[in-house]
C-alpha cells in the first residue's frame, strides 16, 4: 500500500547521512557467493594466453587453472564455469569432439572435482567451440541450423560432462526442446543430481565479440550470425515463453544473457517465475568497463561493483562475470 510522505515530516536524506544508517536500510547486498567465474581452458599443462579484447583475462593451462580454483575457494566464489579452447584440428562440421569422454572438458572436470571437491564446476553445453563453422548446431545443405539433430548431439555432450562428474550443465545453444531431452537422458542414467542451468533467454547480441575471440570461434563464424536460434533483442514476452518452457522441461536454474542491457528481462523473469535466476555479464560488458577505466574515464572498481549490484537489484540470484575474483577481493576488503 502506498502512503503519502510530505516534507518536512519526511526527509529521505536523514537515512543517508551516515554510513551505518545507509548500511542498515540497504535493500540489496552483493556477496562473493553470488558470483560464478567463467574461465577459458587450454589443453596444455603449463602457460597462459592473454585475451587481447578482454584485458586481465587469460586462457589457462592446467596449472594456472588449478591456481585459479584455489583462489576461488579462498575468496568464497562458489562456482567455476569452464569454456574450452579447442585445437582447430579437432573441429569438425558436426562438433563430434564435444561428446568425447577423453576430451578437454571431461578430463578437466574429473581433475577439478578430484582436487577441489567442494568447488562447484559448471560446463557449457554448446557446439560452437567444436565446429568448423562456429555455429552452435548442425547445418543442413543450405547452411540452416538444424534443431532436433543438434539436440541429439547436445544431449550426448551433456551426458559426457555429467558422467565426468560436473555439478551443473549449462546448455547455451538455444535449440528448442534441449532441456527436456537432457533432463530425460540424465534421469535415465541415474544422474539425478546433475543440475541444469538453462541459458533460457539468450539474445543474438553484439556484446559477445570478445568471448568468441577467447574461445576461437570468431574466425570460424566469419560474417555469419546466430539470429535464427538466439533471441531478437527487441523481444521481452518471448523471453518469458522461453523460460517457461525450460522450467517445464526440467531446468533447475534459468539465465538471461547478456546482462546489463537486459536487466528488464531479469526483473520480468524473476517476478513471473520466482525461480533461481542468473545473469551473464558478458565479455563485451566487461571489455567496455575495462577500456573506459584504462583511459581514465571511469573508476574501475566503483563501476565494477555498481554494475554487479545492479544485477542483484534487478532480481538476479547470481551473476556470471569475469570480474568475479576482483569483486570478491574488493568485498573482502570491505
Catalytic residues: 202, 257
| Locus of grid cell 550443465 | 169
Exposure string over 72-98, b if 16+ CB within 10 A, otherwise e: beebebbbbbbbbbbeeebbeebbbbb
> Which residues is 201 bridged to in the sheet?
256
Closest CA to 40 of 334, 239, 322, 256: 322
Residues with Cβ < 8 Å from 83, sequence gap 6 or more?
38, 39, 40, 41, 124, 129, 211, 214, 215
Examine residue 59 and say whether the peptide bond preceding it is cis (omega within 30 degrees of 0).
no
Instruction: Determine the Cα angle at 332 with ends 69 and 318, to 5°.
Output: 65
Answer whether 281's CB lies under 8 Å from 309's CB.
Answer: no
In this structure, what C-alpha cell is assigned to residue 107?
Answer: 578430463
Sign of the torsion formed by the C-alpha atoms of 330, 65, 50 and 167: negative
39 preceded by a cis bond (ω within 30 of 0): no
Across the strands, what pairs with 122?
81, 168
Distance (Å, rounded) from C-alpha 64 to C-alpha 46?
A: 7
CA distances from 220 to 136, 199, 226, 230 (A): 12, 22, 13, 18
Pairing type for strands 120-125 and 48-50 reads unpaired
Q: Is the dihedral of CA 171, 177, 183, 186 positive or negative?
A: negative
Pull the grid cell for residue 14.
Answer: 536523514
Amino acid at each position: 500500500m502506498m502512503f503519502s510522505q510530505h516534507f518536512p515530516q519526511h526527509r529521505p536524506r536523514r537515512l543517508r547521512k551516515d554510513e551505518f544508517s545507509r548500511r542498515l536500510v540497504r535493500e540489496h547486498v552483493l556477496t562473493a557467493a553470488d558470483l560464478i567465474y567463467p574461465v577459458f581452458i587450454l589443453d596444455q599443462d603449463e602457460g597462459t594466453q592473454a585475451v587481447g579484447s578482454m584485458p586481465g583475462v587469460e586462457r589457462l593451462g592446467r596449472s594456472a587453472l588449478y591456481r585459479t580454483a584455489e583462489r576461488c575457494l579462498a575468496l568464497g566464489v562458489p562456482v567455476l564455469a569452464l569454456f574450452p579452447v579447442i585445437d582447430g584440428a579437432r573441429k569438425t562440421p558436426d562438433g563430434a569432439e564435444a561428446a568425447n569422454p577423453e576430451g578437454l572438458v571431461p578430463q578437466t572436470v574429473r581433475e577439478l572435482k578430484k582436487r577441489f571437491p567442494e568447488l562447484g564446476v559448471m560446463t557449457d553445453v554448446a557446439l560452437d567451440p567444436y565446429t568448423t563453422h562456429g555455429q552452435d548446431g548442425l547445418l543442413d545443405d543450405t547452411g540452416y541450423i538444424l534443431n532436433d539433430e543438434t539436440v541429439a548431439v547436445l544431449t550426448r555432450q551433456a551426458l559426457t560432462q555429467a558422467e565426468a562428474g560436473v555439478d551443473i550443465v549449462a546448455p547455451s545453444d538455444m535449440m528448442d526442446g534441449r532441456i527436456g531431452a537432457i533432463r530425460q537422458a540424465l534421469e535415465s542414467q541415474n544422474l539425478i543430481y546433475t543440475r541444469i542451468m538453462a541459458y533460457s533467454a539468450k539474445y543474438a547480441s553484439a556484446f559477445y565479440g570478445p568471448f568468441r575471440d577467447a574461445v576461437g570461434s570468431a574466425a570460424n563464424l566469419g560474417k555469419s550470425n546466430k539470429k535464427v536460434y538466439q533471441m531478437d533483442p527487441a523481444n521481452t514476452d518471448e523471453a518469458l515463453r522461453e523460460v517457461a518452457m525450460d522450467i517445464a522441461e526440467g531446468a533447475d536454474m534459468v539465465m538471461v544473457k547478456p546482462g546489463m542491457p537486459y536487466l528488464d528481462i531479469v526483473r520480468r523473469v524473476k517476478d513471473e517465475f520466482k525461480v533461481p535466476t542468473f545473469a551473464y555479464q558478458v565479455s563485451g560488458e566487461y571489455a567496455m568497463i575495462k577500456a573506459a577505466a584504462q583511459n581514465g574515464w571511469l573508476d574501475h572498481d566503483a563501476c565494477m561493483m555498481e554494475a554487479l549490484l545492479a544485477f542483484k537489484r534487478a532480481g538476479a540470484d547470481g551473476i556470471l562475470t569475469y570480474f568475479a575474483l576482483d569483486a570478491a577481493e574488493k568485498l573482502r576488503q570491505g
